[in-house]
Every structure is written in C-alpha cells, then in structure tokens.
Amino acid sequence: MTARWQSTTILTHRFNPSSDVAASTLTISIVTYRPDLALLDRTLHKLAGSLVAAREQGLLRVANVALIDNSEERGIAAMVIKLAQENFRDSDFTMSYLHGHANIGYGAAHNLVMHGGNTHFHLVLNPDVELDVDALPEALRYFEAHPDVGVIAPAVSNAAGKREYLCKRYPSVADLALRGLAPRWLRPLFRRRLDRYEMRDVMKRTRTEIVSPVPVMSGSCMLLRRKAIDATGGFDPGYFLYFEDFDWSVRLNRVTRSVYLPSVRVVHHGGGAARKGWRHIAYFVRSAVRFFNKNGWHWW
C-alpha cells in the first residue's frame, strides 16, 4: 500500500477487522525531537511486532500509531516518515504524523493525541524504548482481567540487559539531588536511601510478582485505560520536560489503581538529565520546583 502525504496526517493504512478479534482498541503516541533514527527504527519495528502479536491473540481489533514531531528542522520529518513507511508498510494499522507545531514540550505533544480520543487504551511510548513482542498482549490481557486497573508500568532493562528501576516512591528534594545531580563518588554513601527511593527493597524480591500501587511511574512507557486519561486530563502541559510523568502519576493514583506488571518487558535506551548538559539540568530543576509546588515539598 502506498503512503500519501497530507498536511498533518501521513501514512494512512486501513484495518479490516475479522469477526474473531476482540473489541479492544488502542492508540500509541510517540513524541520525537531530533531523534536517534537508528533507535527510532528499532522502536517502530518492535512496536509493530507487539501490535501484530496482540491482534493474532484476539486481544486487539484496531490500533493507531501517532508520531508527534517537536523538531523544527524540515528534513527530520521526511526521515521519520520514511522509517514509519518501512516498518508499517505491510501492516493493517493506522498511522498518523503531526508536525509543524514547534517544540511544545513532551507532555503537551502527547496530549495532542490523547485529548478527545475514543479508544479503550493508550500507550505513551518514547522513541528509544523497545517493546518485547509479548508486551502488549500481556498488558491488554491483564487489563481485561482487572477492570479496576487504570495504568500499567512495565519491567525495564537497559541496552546491556541490566534491570532499571523506574518505578519509584514519592521523591524528596534530597532524593532527586542525590540521584540526578550529585557526583558519582557521593552516591554510594547514600545507597540505601536511593535504593528505597527506587523501590529496590520491593522490586528485588518481586522479579515476577505484581506491585501495586506504583507511586511514581516513568513516562517512557505507560499503558493506560481511556477512563483514567479522561479523569485526569493527561499530562500537565505546564511541564516542558521532566516531571510531567511524576505529576501525572500522583493524579492517576488518586482516581485509579496503578500496577507494575513484570510480564510487560521493555528495553529503554535513554535517561540521565545530568549527562545531557546544563540546559537539561535547568529543565530538570525548573520542573522539579513546579512538581513540589503542586504536590507537596518533601525535603529529606
């Protein structure tokens, strides 16, 4: 099927549902800003595989993948579209591409797709996160069996296969300073404290067990029930970058049940504001202040 250019929506593929497929519908939003194209290619490839697996298992009927590009360079759009064409050319899923709105921030860009949606579920996905082929089937199956659950956080590992601890307790200022800004030589002195913040005291004992609730979830990969999105309004657009996921986690936990589901596995290649330079540190600090002003300051 040949993709067609449109002003804001590109790569439209129609899905012909079969009678034996369940009624679940899903949207996926991926926000890009000058992306690593090799990583994005892998993200899209793994996403396509997991979508097909969910459909073949009778858990998914319709899916729409939306790429929202915050980049300002025109050439990036063409490269991202080409990757999408290559990964979804032979699929029956719908794909849309939004661009030309400048860099409006991570959460605000996701909201462009989430607001007003009518699917049963929504996946927030970073362009540097690779889904395991069974990630979506496992999550959709769990949602079906647990109608009280509104958001699922996955088990995350890095590119080397090492486990990452992205589910956290509510942070204090000291936790964030030690984890995000302190020099490496200082962190071992506070290892026990940081382990507790990252819920390692729970997660190390429960590699195969579900944890609920999850006080703070990573926005790199969140699968949500539509009702939970409608009840909270999605991301707070007042955060340009960082802590929009922390803030949304707090609000989600007020209205629904959150779970860490270890059978939903992903690989994450990003993270680390301090390693990205002073500009990102400034974003980090500004957003942290907003988060604590909204949700309460814990200093130590």
Q: What is the pLDDT of residue 271?
A: 60
Tell me what pLDDT residue 136 has.
98
Q: What pLDDT score was predicted for residue 276?
A: 66
CB atoms within 10 A of CB 103: 15
DSSP letter string over 244-261? HHHHHHHHHHHHSEEEEE
Class of 25-171+211-273 in CATH: alpha beta
Q: What is the dihedral of CA 47, 53, 57, 58, to 10 degrees?
A: 40
CA atoms within 13 A on the CB side of 20: 3
Which positions of the chain have pLDDT values less than 70? 1-23, 206, 271-276
User: What's the pLDDT at 72?
Assistant: 80
Rounding to the nearest 10 degrees, give the CA dihedral for residues 294, 114, 230, 145: -110
The upper half-sphere exposure of residue 257, i.e. CA atoms within 13 Å in the direction of its Cβ, equals: 11
Alpha carbon 88 to its chain's center: 20
Q: Where are the domains of the chain?
A: 25-171+211-273
Q: Considering Cα of 15, then 20, then 24, then 29, what sign does the dihedral take? A: negative
